[in-house]
Structures are given as C-alpha cells and as structure tokens.
Structure 1
Amino acid sequence: MSSSLSRALRTADFRKVYDHGKRVSGPLFAAFCLARQGDQTGYAARLGLTVPKAIGGSVVRNRIKRRMREAFRLHRAELNPQWDIVINPRRTALAAPFTDLERALRKVIDQCNGR
C-alpha cells in the first residue's frame, strides 16, 4: 500500500460504502461516499476504485486507476479525513483530459462535504 495514499482494500469496506453511502454521478464516473464511524483521529480519507473489464484490458484499467488516484491525491486535503470514497469510472474517463477528471472529482468532494 502506498504511504502517500490511503486505499479502501477490503471487500467489506467497498460493500459498506455501496450499501450506505451517498451516490454522486457524473459523465466520467459514479462515486459513492460514506463517513467512517468511530475514532478516526490521524486517519486520511480513503479511496476505492472499481474498473470493470468492459472498459478495456488490464493496461487500460490500470491507466484509469493511476489517473484517478493522482487526482484524488491532489485534492485529498479538501476532503474530511473520515470519508471513504469508491469511484466507478466510465469509459469516457479514459479519453478525458486530466483537468476534467480533477474537476469532476472536486464536484464529488464538494457534494460529499455537503457544499
């Protein structure tokens, strides 16, 4: 696991966010966000990514994941540290400029934070 980015890795983490989280949809991806319960002092917001095989082969899926992780890393400070966010990229995310990914992610962050 990367020290610069906290990731949601367990199936139970993903399931909890899908079942109880707030859904935010856009042209590039669908996102789900949920605040973790309990004492979370010192923890950072966590990111989970689910890229279906229908989008492309492993090279394509990994490229989308790298781009989404970088956009999340750049804007993580704006997010409440107790949030878990799961992003399901759409095929359009592959060809979208990085600035569009960042803009869409900022919209998700604002909606998760209630702005």
Structure 2
Amino acid sequence: MFGDTPISHPPKHGFPKSVRLLRSSDFRKVYDNGTRHTCPFFAAFCVPGGPGIHIGFTTPRALGKAVVRNRIRRRVREAVRLELGELSAAWSIVFNPRRKTLECTLPELQAEVKRLFIRCSKNSPKPPENALPSSCEATSS
C-alpha cells in the first residue's frame, strides 16, 4: 500500500527511507482514512495495516519560516525515531507538529510519541485465526 519495500520493524537507530511516507498520495490516504489523535505538541493521523511501518511529517507554513519549520520537523522526527520500537504493528502515521513543539523538551516529546504508539498498538487489528504468519508461505502439494 505505501512505499516499495515492506519493513516489519525498522532498525533501532536510524530512520531509513523505507519507513518514511514520501508521496503526496500516501499522505492523502492517511489523512482521508486515518484516525486523528491530538496532544499539545502535535496532531497525528493513524491508519492500521499495510506492509510495515510508515511515518510522515507535515509542518504547515503557519508555524514560521523554513528555519523554524525545519527545527520543529527535526525535533519530532528524532522523538519518533527513538520510540519506533514501541510501535508493534504495521501502521502509517502522519505527524502534524504544533508550535509548542519548540517549547518542550525532547523527553516530553518522546513521552507523547510513546503514548501515541502504545495507543496504536493496543488498537491494532487482530489477524484472522486461520491466517498464516507473514513469514510462512502456503505450499500446494
């Protein structure tokens, strides 16, 4: 659904391209079909399913000039990168940061991201009981 290479769990440290939402059509799908979660530092749109985890960031021009928007984006991206291990299922999430992101500390931002990921993991759809694990392939005899 999103991206070309599925990844079940990204590396602990790093934010590879395979985990990022890059195309505007992918962002649109998340905005249109996602559930909105809010906190003082960001709004997040979350859609379950798809091949692996995909994360995107949007920073509106209303937040300031490019330097300010880039600083906000870097802070949120770092908090997400540090907490990716908490996301236990395949989700596509778009983060829409707010101006308060500049005023908070990284641990505060991480705590909100972790809270969102735990909430998403609890709401993960359960696979059908007769479904094969993704690592198994059906063989015909």
Smaller-chain TM-score bracket: 0.7 to 0.9
Task: Give the match for residue 110 of structure 1.
Answer: 118
Q: Measure, in 2, the Cα distance between the counterparts of 1:86 and 1:74.
A: 16
Task: Give the match for residue 19 of structure 1.
Answer: 32
Q: Measure, in 1, the Cα distance between the counterparts of 2:39 and 2:90.
A: 23
CA RMSD of superposed structures (Å): 1.6
Greater helix proportion: 1
Task: Give the match for residue 7 of structure 1.
Answer: 20
Deviation at 1:105?
0.5
- Superposition misfits of 4+ residues, deviation over 2 angstroms: none
Runs of 5+ consecutive residues of structure 2 not aligned to the other structure: 1-10, 124-141
Give 2:74's match in structure 1, choosing from 61, 66, 72: 66
Q: Which has the higher contact order (CA 8 A, sep 6+)?
A: 1
Q: Do 1:8 and 1:14's aligned partners in 2 also have CA atoms closer than 8 Å?
A: yes
Matching of residue 95 in structure 1 with residue 108 in structure 2: no
Q: Measure, in 2, the Cα distance between the counterparts of 1:77 and 1:103.
A: 13
Task: Give the match for residue 59 of structure 2.
Answer: 51
Q: Do 1:17 and 1:34's aligned partners in 2 also have CA atoms closer than 8 Å?
A: yes
Q: Calculate percent identity across the aligned residue pairs.
A: 44
Deviation at 1:110?
1.3
Task: Give the match for residue 35 of structure 1.
Answer: 48
Q: Measure, in 2, the Cα distance between the counterparts of 1:80 and 1:63.
A: 28
Runs of 5+ consecutive residues of structure 1 not aligned to the other structure: none
Q: Do 1:64 and 1:93's aligned partners in 2 also have CA atoms closer than 8 Å?
A: yes
Q: Do 2:89 and 2:121's aligned partners in 1 also have CA atoms closer than 8 Å?
A: no
Deviation at 1:81?
4.6
Letter in 1 for 2:26: D
How many residue pairs end up in the alignment? 108
Task: Give the match for residue 82 of structure 1.
Answer: 90
